[in-house]
Amino acid sequence: MHRERFYTLAASCPDQVGIIARITGFFAEHRGWILESSFHSDGEAGRYFMRIEVRADSLPFGIDVLRQKFAPVAESLAMHWKLTDSTQKKRVVVLVSKQEHCLYDLLARWQSRELDIEIPCVISNHETFRGFVEWHGIPFHHVPVTPDNKVAAYRTVTELFDAAHADTMVLARYMQILPPELCAAYPGQILNIHHSFLPSFVGAKPYHQAYQRGVKLIGATCHYVTADLDQGPIIEQDVIRIDHSDSVDDMVRYGKDIEKAVLARGLRYHLEDRVLTHGNKTVVFR
């Protein structure tokens, strides 16, 4: 990965002739130095996807002016788009319950700057990890969730997320179903790690379901959260082979390694604006 400050354009538009010429021509007109570019044409959807990184110091203006100048081009192409600055760290709020492995892994990657992000807080429905989180210097919020207080609890979660000026919410084995209103408020901003190779074994205890089914592969899925349980657009997946001698406990142990890796990769792709959604599908520029 290059270290220069750069701006990232992530966009999609109806497919047509001349899209690349229009976009690259725009940057060339302003002496923009393209560092990386990725393109994909979805013939079935009739849609074109792109991700372009441009060296910031090659342009004669900052990102706010760049957005203003690019807007007419985007409008002419009926484009969904965003421009981001590599120096602006993304702010990630982590939600967790009693499973520690994904939380531990994310905080280790954050502390080592493998994930160069800010974590303004961790929210949990249990007190279990308060000491661990606060030891890292990160605020910890205990928001209990019961059948009787869900509306108030998720109102509090929303308030904490907004107060943190966060970009992304990560459910690191949070093990709670978010209400539809919360999912709708932050489309494409909430990531979940599900401990199965979706669409197989949705819902609770997927390893037990897999054991009963006698599968030979188990996996994990990082996906965006929608109101439909475990049905959101998939960002990243991976699997590991098992056999008849493996118990449910063995599968859970193997699965934790896959879950950590898949969540970390999926979150990185999201933070680097490498994931573009269309309907319930994604284009991921690795």
pLDDT tens-digit readout, 114-173 = 999 999 999 999 999 999 999 999 999 999 999 999 999 999 999 999 999 999 999 999
Q: What is the pLDDT of residues 237-282, one digit of tens each?
A: 999 999 999 999 999 999 999 999 999 999 999 999 999 999 999 9
Return d(Cα 240, Cα 220) in angstroms, integer: 9
Query: Are 128 and 111 spatial neighbours (Cβ–Cβ below 8 Å)?
Result: no
**Predicted local confidence at residue 250, as pLDDT:** 95
What would the pLDDT profile of 164-179 be if each residue is shown by its tens digit?
999 999 999 999 999 9
Helix (H, G, I), strand (E, B) or coil at 117: coil
Domain 6-85 has CATH 3.30.70.260: yes
What's the mean pLDDT in 201-225?
Answer: 95
What pTM did the predictor assign?
0.95
pLDDT at 1 over 60: no
Position 2 scores a pLDDT of: 54
d(CA 56, CA 84): 11
Nearest CA to 70 out of 33, 27, 35, 31 is that of 27
Percent residues over pLDDT 90 in the chain = 98
pLDDT of 231 over the 90 cut: yes
Domains of the chain, residue spans:
6-85, 92-284
204 pLDDT tier (thresholds 50, 70, 90): confident
pLDDT tens digits, 71-96 = 999 999 999 999 999 999 999 999 99
Give the β-pairing of 80-85 and 6-14: antiparallel
Name the token pair of 95: 């939600």
Instruction: Write down the mean pLDDT value for the chain.
Output: 96
Q: Catalogue the active-site residues.
A: 230
- 3-state DSSP call for residue 90? coil
Which residue intervals of 136-247 are DSSP H helices?
150-163, 180-185, 206-213
CATH number for the segment(s) 92-284: 3.40.50.170
